[in-house]
Amino acid sequence: MALSLDPRRRMVRRQIAGRGVGDLRVLAAMEKVPREAFLPDALREFAYEDTPLPIEEGQTMSQPYIVARMADAAHIGPGDKVLEIGAGSGYAAAVLSELAERVFTIERHPALADLARARLEQLGYRNVDVRTGDGTLGWPEQAPFDAIIATAGGPRVPDSLRGQLSVGGRLVMPVGPTRSAQMLIRLTRTGPETWHQEGIEDVRFVPLIGEEGWTEDEARDRPARPTPLGLPQLVRAGEQALPDLGDPEFGGLFDRYGDRKVVLLGEASHGTSEFYRARAAITRRLIERHGFSFVAVEADWPEAAGIDRYVRHLPTRSGTPIALHRFPTWLWRNTDVAAFADWLRRHNATLPAERRAAFFGLDIYSPSDSIAAVLAYLDKVDPAAAKVARERYGCLTPWQHDPTVYGRAVLSERYRECEAEMVANLQDLLGKRLQYAARDGEQFFDAAQNARLVASAARYYRALYYGNAESWNLRDRHMFDTLTRLFEHRGSAAKGVVWAHNSHIGDARFTDMGRVRGELNLGELVRRRFADDAALIGFGTHSGTVAAASDWDGPMEVKEVRPSRVDSVERQFHDAGVPQAVLYLDTPGELRRRLRAPRLERFIGVIYRPESELQSHYAEVELPGQFDAFVWFDRTTAVTPLPTSQRTDAPGTWPFGL
């Protein structure tokens, strides 16, 4: 069944026009062509996501923005004859057919060519011809062409394609020595033997295989291009080397943020020891020297309350669960958090109760609890849907776009039939958690907020199931609301530190999250509210080990972190050669200007899948807009988790029950 035009219009507005494609004919063509009609049935619900998608024969349909960007760059007129190299599903050819008088498209996989031809004919695209062949040789008997578009990257523009351009014709294709180091170029034929070439933007495409492209062997193993000259040297000159994490002066390099109302400290993964220890060192300094009075972390409110009672020497409450013991247990139940909690308890011991620094969770409902409840329910009523749901929940991050996961994440009819009952069960679950939290005493939010949360639960959980931006936005808005209520409760002089993932604390407006997918986050909301009274500090690493799972609810593994990509933010810091450093990003100059160019940044959450790292864990960012400072550790190590069993001889106030 065809989808409504609404998702198409949203795609065009956010993903294409929002990125600067302004040709009204291209925008109209992208809005008219039904992308879902060119996808396998199992993938149609994902047709208008901002991602490439897998198609038949192990190939990939390009991201919608790339299709539009290439058509825009080719300046296709209504009377033009166009050659496309790489028919694939036929989708891009359909878009081109809306712009040109005639389109000729070549596909090297016979089965794909047949399928593209059948789809185009069925949809009534009569001005497209499809053939099977070597795209690098073009279609000489139909030359010359007013425009040629190649949807695969080669080491150079094939001579055959150059020769088949008409004078004044434009060729658009990716060119570069590796798949990860390509430039989308436009080649214009200015005379019988003259051409003019322009660079458009950095891209990543599948290899162009053929007589005048890559061989099959070369496509599998090509040399890497060195990092562009100059930027790592600028980074090295601008960054400040950090002392050892155990040095008291480590935190001193962050005194410049001591007068802020709120300091947000990130992490590039949920399982890296150096990130936790650095945040602890910075937070200790802010509490001891600058009067910060609470820490708010990306954790469930009721469970974090157990740690708060411990660090503030408050009495325990009967029935309190082991603190932070649900999947992923290593996120907060690790030796680094335990060491910080011990320090905070010692620090508070000499202070009157009203001046003791507190420890709060920003989530009042736990997404991990909610997901666990869904999975338990589906395990009973529909095991096949439970398996699919585990795959989908493994991708509930704003940077996760693995096409193979999308291909498996198609929920069964039984799942859909059960949805209403699951939502009702989860509302009951949330209501009980709120009842427990309401008994938690003086620090808890008012009953009106609880009522709003229960009322919005159906919308939140429905969004959670289907993986759209709204589930992310609802959660980050709630964390922001929780933070602002903490400031109201603690008084006008209160200052707080936030610990959360880079994806939550970096300003989403300067990442693909906000610019393309319509997602906001805590960092953006904090900046809008507190402006210069807030500091957003990100963290990054090049390689090492990390604690993570391969699937949602899977066992923790210590995994090797792949070296950062050559086209990433992290590689600039690695090539700068300083083992650990901080770079202040709010200083004007050449370095800040160069770093404003969009680059990939790595995000590792609860799940880490190195085998699909580009699709699963990288997103495009503008670093100086995203953060006020960036803390760098070239090589990092995994956190050490704490056991989850309860010890009968443990002190009653110890939050982890060890």
For the domain that residue 164 is a member of, what is the CATH number? Answer: 3.40.50.150
Contact 519, 512 (CB under 8 A): no
Residue 389 located in a structural domain: no
Residue 430 located in a structural domain: no
Residue 629's Cβ-count burial label (10 Å; 0-12, 13-18, 19+) is buried
What lies within 8 Å, CB to CB, of 516 at 6+ separation is 14, 15, 18, 19, 50, 65
Residue 403's identity, in one-letter code, is P
What pLDDT sits at residue 237? 87
Contact 434, 453 (CB under 8 A): yes
Residue 225 located in a structural domain: no
Contact 225, 566 (CB under 8 A): yes
Of the candidates 29, 91, 69, 15, the residue with the CA atom closest to the CA atom of residue 185: 69
Residues 59 and 147 in one domain: yes
What pLDDT sits at residue 455? 43
Residue of 62, 89, 269, 293 marked catalytic: 62
Contact 328, 606 (CB under 8 A): yes
Residues 269 and 162 in one domain: no
Residue 149's identity, in one-letter code, is I
Does the N-terminal peptide bond of residue 651 adopt cis geometry, omega within 30 degrees of 0? no
Which helix (H) or strand (E) segment is 83 a member of? Answer: strand 81-85
Residues 216 and 254 in one domain: no
Residues 599 and 534 in one domain: yes
Residues 42 and 156 in one domain: yes
Spatial separation of the C-alpha atoms in residues 14 and 148, rounded to whole Å: 27
Number of domains in the chain: 2
Spatial separation of the C-alpha atoms in residues 376 and 370, rounded to whole Å: 10
Domain hosting 256: range is 233-364+468-636
For every residue of 182-203, which 3-state class applies, written as one string?
EEEEEEEEEECCEEEEEEEEEE
Residues 238 and 191 in one domain: no
Residues 71 and 130 in one domain: yes
Residues 188 and 260 in one domain: no
Residues 266 and 211 in one domain: no
Does the N-terminal peptide bond of residue 655 adopt cis geometry, omega within 30 degrees of 0? no
Domain endpoint, select from 220, 249, 278: 220
- In order of 166, 209, 214, the CA distances from 83 in angstroms are 12, 17, 20
Residues 110 and 209 in one domain: yes
What pLDDT sits at residue 248? 86
Residue 391 located in a structural domain: no
Can you spell out the DSSP letters for 112-162? HHHHHHHHHHHTT-TTEEEEES-GGG--GGG--EEEEEESSBBSS--HHHH
> Which residue do the tokens 């001579």 mark?
159
Residue 318 located in a structural domain: yes
What pLDDT sits at residue 146? 97
Active site residue 62: yes
Domain endpoint, select from 220, 246, 281: 220
Residue 418 located in a structural domain: no
What residues of the chain score a pLDDT lower than 50? 1-5, 222-229, 319-321, 395-415, 436-437, 440-457, 646-654, 656-658
What pLDDT sits at residue 41? 82
What pLDDT sits at residue 399? 42
What pLDDT sits at residue 415? 44
Residue 490 in tokens:
């603690």
Spatial separation of the C-alpha atoms in residues 535 and 283, rounded to whole Å: 13
What torsion, rounded to 10 degrees, do the Cα atoms 269, 270, 276, 278 define?
Answer: 20
Spatial separation of the C-alpha atoms in residues 542 and 330, rounded to whole Å: 21
Residues 193 and 245 in one domain: no
Q: What CATH code is carried by the domain that includes residue 565?
A: 3.40.1660.10
Q: Mind listing the pLDDT tens digit for each residue in 542-563? A: 999 999 998 877 899 999 999 9
Contact 52, 19 (CB under 8 A): no
- In order of 105, 120, 211, 340, the CA distances from 128 in angstroms are 7, 8, 25, 65
CA dihedral for 228, 230, 233, 237, sign (positive or negative): negative
Residues 169 and 298 in one domain: no
Residue 422 located in a structural domain: no
Residue 508's Cβ-count burial label (10 Å; 0-12, 13-18, 19+) is buried
Residue 599 located in a structural domain: yes
What lies within 8 Å, CB to CB, of 289 at 6+ separation is 255, 258
